[in-house]
Structure 1
């Protein structure tokens, strides 16, 4: 099973059309089973074209790009989280090649005002893979030291939604550096989540952010904040950073992470 997670930073990138084509090309070549995307935006004044997608939705644009290169077998889910960059409805998306049995979205923050950029929503899909139902969550969480909307509260809220005992994967931008102790990463470990990077037989540095980006304006470190967590121990063949200029062109201010799991 092949997984990909990427914070798209959509419509904020230079050469956005080219970068969208690069992402679509990689999806076609790798044939990921599940793709979790964050910062998947659409203009708030766009016309609704289907479901809750508006004209200019990044996920819809990606699906259209895939269609143009002959890829038509991905189903999708998208959820609106909050207004970002003043005029965009920023959301989360999931693409999958497998039938979606269930879609769900829910808030994990104290506040639910979508006009406020700290409001966070999660989207989940349940698919059947080799006769097993598996839950996948696209996640974009806050920061450990945020007193208003804390990471710890968001993880606890997320855990409340995961009670069915099925294998589950949390994929996304967790805004907590895996190399910083006694903060968000360690808190997730304490809750029983398994980092697929740690489980991987083959891995690289895992670094997904270099220097300062939105939300990390003072950062001067290499960060590993884009992660794939598993609710159970699984056999992970590899975990590799992509779209970092070495493995595929850079398409966002975050690099992506692709994980291959023996299932």
Structure 2
């Protein structure tokens, strides 16, 4: 008789045979799946390399748009001369690359702002550059003026103005009929061989002018779409709130162009936050009682495969401390000025409370004739400015 298997041998015989088949051969789908994954990884790597080489390094462009409320005091504006100086000082700080100005109706106000621009290396359009040549008065009243101006960090290569084909009604006596609003355009080259057309506009105000505003807006959009530059930037006061459903103005703009605010905030509830209102903002001295409205926008459009990314969008609350002559004479140093500004800031909350709808109706809040208040922290306009920082990516093989 042969030797009997030991206990250990018996245990080994009872154990199931371990498969020696490689894991990648166990399923007929494994190899194809691995192949597909490998191809996808390779394609992704190639795509990333091609994308990085297809686009030039991005250009950052910072834009500010502001309705300056340059209507003459006799027509309803307040503290115009003071505010124009502060607007000029703001631009002198050179915090943005391009400034789009609306309602800079009067030549003396244009000269005031330009006097501060001339202290920098920036360029500013002249009164006649963005208006019907030879028609704009701007000395006595805004007759036949557009009120538009552009300030640029980069040399202005081209200037053009297109007047709207329609204006307000003669019988409504709201000034729209006598103004000659339109679209101003300048071309800049922030980097060699990369061109940007910058457009500024101001459409008809008041709800009842919706018919004129719709036509004007379509003309603006058509003008921007026909730009031959690598990029087009449009900003201004469009006098349309997204909640105004009785006209097509907002839909025309957002369906044809890309909105900086809309891309940055995405949700309409964020866009319509009262603190982002560009007219009737709760923090505005002059218009807060009229309720929050969103009238001012920045749009963009790219040529071919060029691309734009909105890096920042903001509605800054721009204010200026205004001192009486007596207090200005008492400020002898930067330290004393800073201390006075701090005290003024503490007193401003109580002062601002005086600006109510009732006092506005009575005209008692006109700042040039204030008596009780020796200083005020005033808004630069009845509108708020809007700012956006955009990244411009030019496709190499357009």
Give me the TM-score of the superposition, normalised by structure 1: 0.76
Name the CA distance, whole Å, in 2 between partners of 1:26 and 1:80: 24
Q: Tell me which protein shows more strand as a share of its residues.
A: 1
1:251 maps onto 2:380 in alignment: yes
Q: Give the corresponding residue for 1:38.
A: 102
Unaligned runs of 5+ in 2: 1-60, 282-286, 321-376, 393-398
Q: Give the corresponding residue for 2:203.
A: 141
Which of 151, 165, 185 is the equivalent residue of 1:109? 165
The within-5 A match list for 1:1-263 is 1-10=61-70, 11-12=72-73, 13-42=77-106, 54=107, 56=108, 58-67=109-118, 70-78=119-127, 79-80=130-131, 87-89=141-143, 90=145, 91-110=147-166, 116-117=177-178, 119-131=180-192, 132-142=194-204, 146=208, 149-162=211-224, 163-166=226-229, 167-181=231-245, 183=247, 184-190=249-255, 192-200=256-264, 205-210=275-280, 220-232=290-302, 234-245=308-319, 249-263=378-392
Cα deviation for residue 86 of structure 1 reads 7.5
What is the DSSP-based 3-state SS (H/G/I as helix, E as strand, rest coil) of the residue aligned with 2:236? strand
Cα deviation for residue 151 of structure 1 reads 1.9
Cα deviation for residue 147 of structure 1 reads 6.2
CA deviation map 1:178-201 (0-9, x unaligned): 3434632122112x2111012227
What is the DSSP-based 3-state SS (H/G/I as helix, E as strand, rest coil) of the residue aligned with 1:188? helix
Name the CA distance, whole Å, in 1 between partners of 2:116 and 2:92: 10
Q: Alpha carbons of 1:139 and 1:261: their partners in 2 closer, same or farther (altered >3 Å)?
A: same
Name the CA distance, whole Å, in 1 between partners of 2:257 and 2:65: 17
Contact preservation (8 Å) 1:174, 1:227: yes
Q: Give the corresponding residue for 1:45.
A: none
Q: How many residues get paired?
A: 240
Contact preservation (8 Å) 2:121, 2:153: no
Unaligned runs of 5+ in 1: 43-53, 212-216
What is the DSSP-based 3-state SS (H/G/I as helix, E as strand, rest coil) of the residue aligned with 2:131? strand
Name the CA distance, whole Å, in 2 between partners of 1:66 and 1:9: 19
